[in-house]
Amino acid sequence: MSQIKVLIVDDARFIRDHVTRIVKEHFPEYQIDAAEDGDDGQKAMSKVDYDLILCDWEMPGKSGLELLTWARSQPHYADIPFVMVTSRGERDYVLQAIQAGVNDYMGKPFEDQQLVDKVKKYAGQRVESSADSRRKAAQMLASGKTAASKKVAKKPKGLAHLRSSAGNLRCAVKEITLQNVKVMVKREEGIPQLLEPVVVDIEQVSGGSVAQMNGFIIGLQANEKSQETTFLAVDVQFVDNDPEKLEVLTGYIASLNKKPK
């Protein structure tokens, strides 16, 4: 059986390194190559017949969509699994990728196991994953069952300040991605307005500042079905495209997924 070859295409070095590390850790028998943009990816694909492509969307030069379109015009890559790994999650972009022949779509940031599952789905069926990978998957499954059976409430992922027309509101981070964040605020501290621009100062649980993200409120919801509810859930859509902010935020989100030793 020939060795499975995987190509990772992303212009952000820290993302390339992160994805490469995950795939190598769980599938050490695979050949893993990386390309820094779409043009570099096309050159690599012209020299090597890869079995799986993990590709970013927005890159200088040739974009992920353009690389996908080119790939589907090539005899070897007409039906080779191509997974778009990107922060682009808008419906129009997803439809473009589907129409161009993408096999799957994974949003940034992502948990390690999400990526492992994608690789298993599209390439791992041909080569069994390592024993260490199976052990980790079993541990994750067991821990998931334990948490579900005990019905333990999720702890906040972090702390933040929401700067809005209602003031500087202390809040807890419930969910966070590179595109948006859901925070819980106390009703009595003030109620922000739907669609108003805000700044979210995200902190580590230890209190260290992580990033000041600009955005606008896309959702407000009572935490309980009662007019007396104490907490409100506030959904904020980020509008920042600053590479430094996004890199810091990506590292912070990745740290949330790490299990304590």
Domain map (residue ranges) of the chain:
5-148, 158-256
Q: What is the pTM of this model?
A: 0.50
Does the pLDDT at position 85 exceed 80? Answer: yes
State the DSSP code for 128: P
Q: What is 158-256's CATH number?
A: 2.40.10.220
Mean pLDDT of the chain: 80
Q: How many C-beta atoms lie closer than 10 Å to residue 236's C-beta?
A: 26
Count of residues in the chain: 261
- Rounded to 5 degrees, φ, ψ at 140 are -65, -40
Residues 6+ apart with CB under 8 A from 47: none
The distance from CA 185 to its chain's CA centroid, rounded to whole angstroms, is 25
Q: Strand locations in 31-166, DSSP E?
A: 31-35, 52-55, 82-86, 104-107, 158-164
Q: What is 5-148's CATH number?
A: 3.40.50.2300
Residues 6+ apart with CB under 8 A from 230: 186, 187, 188, 223, 224
Least confident of 2-6, 81-85, 92-96: 92-96
Q: Strand locations in 96-154, DSSP E?
A: 104-107
Q: In the chain, pLDDT over 70 holds for what percent of residues?
A: 80
* Whole-number Å distance between alpha carbons of 195 and 117: 36
Does the pLDDT at position 108 exceed 80? Answer: no
